Amino acid sequence: MNTIVDNFLNPEILVKYGPSIAIGMLETVRLSVLVLATGFFFGLVMASIRAFRNRYVNFFIVVFADIFRALPPLVLIVVMYFGLPMLGVRLSGFAVAWITLGCVMTAFTEEVLWAGMKSIPKGQWDAARSTGLTFTESLAFVILPQAVRIVVPPLTSRVVATVKNTALASTVAVPEMLSRAGEALAEGANTTPLTMAAVGYLVLLLPLVIFTRHLEKRYAWSVH
Amino acid sequence: MSMSISMQVKATPERTVKSHLNTPMSSKSVPMLELRGIRKTFGNLEILKGIDLDVMKGQLVFLIGPSGSGKSTLLRCCNRLEEPTSGSVLIDGEDILAAGVNVNKVRTKLGMVFQSFNLYPHLDALGNVTLALRRVSGKTREQANDIGHEMLRRVGLADRAGHYPSQLSGGQQQRVAIARALALEPKVVLFDEPTSALDPELVNSVLSTMRELREAGMTMMVVSHEMRFAREAADKVVFMADGAIVEQGSSDEVFGAPKHQRTREFLAQIER
């Protein structure tokens, strides 16, 4: 029992590396918020564009969504980070992680929102258009408000996955929580920092999960 | 309170209807809604085979016929929810299929009420009625709410303005849908089987709202199976089958003395 406490809950290590890991958590939050905000925004834009049903544009949207949902984010991050400089583009690890994870979030958001939009009865379009609302106005004020509420559950799981995926940025020199824990681990020769990082992720994600369960209950009116 | 509303709001419902009767464009001889040679084909299937129909101002025209006869498609051609393959649709003399016509503007002249109500579930009753007022007519939130409350009062749901569709009965939802269709002061209201999805005891509340609308002078085209309502309220009954009008006339003529065998067969099946 003592060895477990020593190695995973060591009080000296907790005190010595606590601040560093807390700063790492801030960086994790920073990256997560940016990825989620841009990913959700562009996913919304893409799904809206898809509603216009232009065959050629839709082809590119579908290809984009399929690629970024299928490829492992780690592979994407590493390939971008080490490959882009060969094309003359030098981006920081943070920028690479943001763009890559942002594209993944965009792809999932677009697919999920599109499915939500398609599940809305055609009668909603009929009613909106019959009162003189344009296609875009119907989309913005009638369809999307309903679609977004419907897709809260699958979007939540993507939010959780995104926050967890920010740990991958540790491979490209971003000083987020996991990489700080890794440094502390090497320096202190003790695995307690990893416990701290794990707790840190829990602290971030548990409230999120609880909040979205509350959201799901709130928007539980039946659309059909 | 009602005094200030009628002074602030430009058109109360009663005045709205009367103003339709006084506009220069509308004379007794020009039909409010005119359909000429309407054809509609979906792929290989010809749903409408050349429909000619006039609806005069203030008339209630009833469309009856077996399912698949094209009644709903015809109704949806009137506000271009379906685009006719050929033919013309004139609203108060204006050709709404002409090139360069703004479809969205045209649609504000026609209200539509659907079988499945199609209320917006994320908005309350007042929100449903006022959405188009704010976005299409450009009214301020205050103006739109005033009109919205007045429309809901007119259909007998003034106290339900803050209720969401899921909190309303089917009949109440349909009446909110009627208020929504009336909000933009249309010249014609189209009803696509407005009571078919309602429990029998709720049908009457919707029919009496439709009766009041008719008494206020609204031009209405109704697709429905409510034959008793047709007998008492319809100015003209049109029997359609297989994409064409088989016969039309007053409700006494069509129900009492149908000229065509097909009509008689259909009525025999409907009569209970």
- Asked whether residue B8 carries a pLDDT value surpassing 80, the answer given is no
Task: For residue B180, list chain A residues with Cβ-Cβ distance below 8 A.
Answer: 127, 131
Averaged confidence pLDDT in chain B: 88
Assess B122–A contact: CB distance below 8 Å, yes or no: yes
Nearest by CB to A141, which of B105, B131, B166? Answer: B131
Task: For residue B75, list chain A residues with Cβ-Cβ distance below 8 A.
Answer: none
Residue A211 CA, distance from chain mean position: 16
* Per-residue pLDDT, A153: 82
Q: By residue range, what is the domain housing residue A129? A: 19-178
> Is the C-alpha dihedral spanning A19, A21, A22, A28 positive or negative?
positive
Assess B197–A contact: CB distance below 8 Å, yes or no: no
Q: Is residue A5 part of a domain?
A: no
Rounded to an integer, the average pLDDT of B92-113 is 92
Q: Chain A residue with minimal CA distance to B133?
A: A131
Q: Is residue A127 part of a domain?
A: yes
How many Cβ atoms are within 10 Å of B27's Cβ, its own excluded? 9
SS3 state of residue B259: coil
> Is the C-alpha dihedral spanning B215, B221, B222, B227 positive or negative?
positive
Paired strand residues for B91: B33, B94
Q: Is residue A204 part of a domain?
A: no
- In this prediction, residue A223 has a pLDDT band, given cuts at 50, 70 and 90, of very low
Assess A121–B contact: CB distance below 8 Å, yes or no: yes
* Per-residue pLDDT, A211: 83
SS3 state of residue B51: strand
Nearest by CB to A145, which of B81, B110, B122? Answer: B122
Assess A122–B contact: CB distance below 8 Å, yes or no: no
Q: Chain B residue with minimal CA distance to A143?
A: B120
SS3 state of residue B53: strand
Rounded to an integer, the average pLDDT of A112-137 is 95
Rounded to an integer, the average pLDDT of B206-216 is 93
CATH code: domain of residue A108 = 1.10.3720.10
Paired strand residues for B5: none
Averaged confidence pLDDT in chain A: 90
- In this prediction, residue A214 has a pLDDT band, given cuts at 50, 70 and 90, of confident
Assess B223–A contact: CB distance below 8 Å, yes or no: no
Rounded to an integer, the average pLDDT of B140-163 is 94
Q: Is residue A220 part of a domain?
A: no
Q: Chain A residue with minimal CA distance to B166?
A: A221
- Asked whether residue A219 carries a pLDDT value surpassing 80, the answer given is no
Percent of the residues in chain B that have a pLDDT greater than 70, as a whole number: 89
Work out how many CB contacts closer than 8 A connect A with B: 71
pLDDT digits (tens, 9 = 90+) for A45-70: 999 999 999 999 999 999 999 999 99
Nearest by CB to B121, which of A131, A134, A146? Answer: A146
Choose among A43, A164, A147: nearest CA to A104. A43
Domain count, chain A: 1
| CA distance linking residue B34 with residue B76, whole number of Å | 14
Provide the shortest C-alpha distance from residue B193 to chain A (in Å).
14
Residue B233 CA, distance from chain mean position: 14
Least confident of A1-15, A26-40, A177-191, B144-158: A1-15
Residue of A131, A138, A221 to mutate when probing chain B, most B C-beta within 10 A? A131
pLDDT digits (tens, 9 = 90+) for A164-177: 999 998 888 888 99
pLDDT digits (tens, 9 = 90+) for A172-204: 888 899 988 888 888 888 888 888 899 999 999
Count of alpha carbons within 13 angstroms of residue B215, beta-carbon side: 8
| Dihedral, B174, B52, B17, B217 alpha carbons, nearest 10 | -80
Assess A137–B contact: CB distance below 8 Å, yes or no: yes
Rounded to an integer, the average pLDDT of A105-126 is 95
Q: Which residue has the higher pLDDT, B118 or A12?
A: B118
Provide the shortest C-alpha distance from residue B103 to chain A (in Å).
8
- Asked whether residue B11 carries a pLDDT value surpassing 70, the answer given is no
Q: Is residue A186 part of a domain?
A: no
- Asked whether residue B9 carries a pLDDT value surpassing 70, the answer given is no
Paired strand residues for B36: B88
Q: Is residue A216 part of a domain?
A: no
Q: Is residue A213 part of a domain?
A: no
Distances (CA, A) of A213 to A144, A154, A207, A216, B229: 21, 11, 10, 5, 48
Rounded to an integer, the average pLDDT of B192-219 is 93
How far the first Cα of chain A sits from its last, in Å, is 56
| CA distance linking residue A53 with residue A42, whole number of Å | 17
Rounded to an integer, the average pLDDT of A12-34 is 89
| Dihedral, A125, A129, A134, A140 alpha carbons, nearest 10 | -40
Residue of B75, B116, B196 to mutate when probing chain A, most A C-beta within 10 A? B116
Q: Parallel, antiparallel, or unpaired for β B45-55 and B236-241?
A: unpaired
Task: For residue B184, list chain A residues with Cβ-Cβ distance below 8 A.
Answer: 131-132
Rounded to an integer, the average pLDDT of A83-94 is 90
Q: Chain B residue with minimal CA distance to A130?
A: B107
List of residues 6+ apart from B145 with CB closer than 8 A: B126, B130
Choose among B174, B194, B225: nearest CA to B69. B225
Q: Is residue A201 part of a domain?
A: no
Rounded to an integer, the average pLDDT of B121-144 is 93
Distances (CA, A) of B233 to A39, A162, B175, B218: 56, 62, 18, 12
